[in-house]
Amino acid sequence: MKIIQITDTHFSESKRHFLGNWAPLCAWIEEQEADLVVHTGDLTVDGADDEQELRFSMELMRQVRVPMLLVPGNHDVGHLPGTLQPVTPDRLRRWETHVGPDRWIEDTTGWRLIGFNTLLIGHGNEAENRQLEWLSEAIATAAGRRIALFTHKPLFVDDPLEGDTDYWGIRPRERRRIFDAMAGNDVALVASGHLHWAWQGTLGATALTWGPSAAFVIDKLEREMPGRRVVGAVVHDLGDGVESRIVAVPGMMAHVFDEVFHEVYPMLATAKEAAR
């Protein structure tokens, strides 16, 4: 099975900074003759508070003739408690209305694909607990199929035993619950986005891919992450094994976020400067 992973497209009808990357990316996807496209979140610039951005971005996604599954990112449904835009039932409802479920299972020959909403993780509430229980059951009931997990936030940034990386990764206690659910089951791939760095590695027998953004790279605005700065997509070939290839898609521009941060996310830029 051939899967194209795209992530962090950050589309907006009004803030069109990254829209120029869609035409070459869409054309490249069509050339790949894949079986499925998985979008691992941050579909929009600010779909969490602008319903029209979800509508507009899904109009673009429907230009792809290959079936597509999506999981939400923090700019689509919100983030952690105490942030400018925490996840709320209304934000989740808007995603479900215009995009679809925030978690899903797709069974194919020999494989179970699972997408889940990492933005619920870290809230310490019933919604988070229900999803983690759902995830454990989805993994445990794969019935001999190999498993691929698709998420927005990565399981970790630098090290699987790291502490709380706040905005970037999953918190240690919840990460341990996911690791426990994976243990003893054939989780062959975990693929995510969010970091705007492209990286591949392993966790035991599990292949890990942090996919490249389809919109921008980050220069000095944030610390360096593992991997490399590239804009593009990932090709996952799932068979008896896993082969994943990060691709710098021809014709796409690697926008530098530092140069447009104040225009694209003025509220975040103001908050970041106030915190210094």
**pTM of this structure:** 0.97
Q: Could you report the per-residue pLDDT of 194-222, keeping only the tens digit for each?
A: 999 999 999 999 999 999 999 999 999 99
Q: Could you report the per-residue pLDDT of 21-73, keeping only the tens digit for each?
A: 999 999 999 999 999 999 999 999 999 999 999 999 999 999 999 999 999 99
Does residue 265 carry a pLDDT above 70? yes
Write down the residue that tokens 């229980």 correspond to: 133
Q: Could you report the per-residue pLDDT of 73-120, keeping only the tens digit for each?
A: 999 999 999 999 999 999 999 999 999 999 999 999 999 999 999 999
Report how many domains make up the chain: 1
What is the extent of the structural domain holding 186?
Answer: 2-275
Q: Could you report the per-residue pLDDT of 227-238, keeping only the tens digit for each?
A: 999 999 999 999
Grouping H, G, I as helix, E, B as strand and the rest as coil, residue 19 is helix
Residue 16 belongs to a domain with what CATH number?
3.60.21.10
Does residue 276 carry a pLDDT above 70? no
| Per-residue b or e along 203-222, where b marks 16 or more CB atoms closer than 10 Å to that residue's CB | eeebbbbbbbbbbbbbeeee
Q: Which residues contact 10 (CB under 8 A, 6 or more apart)?
A: 17, 18, 42, 43, 44, 45, 75, 213, 215, 216, 264
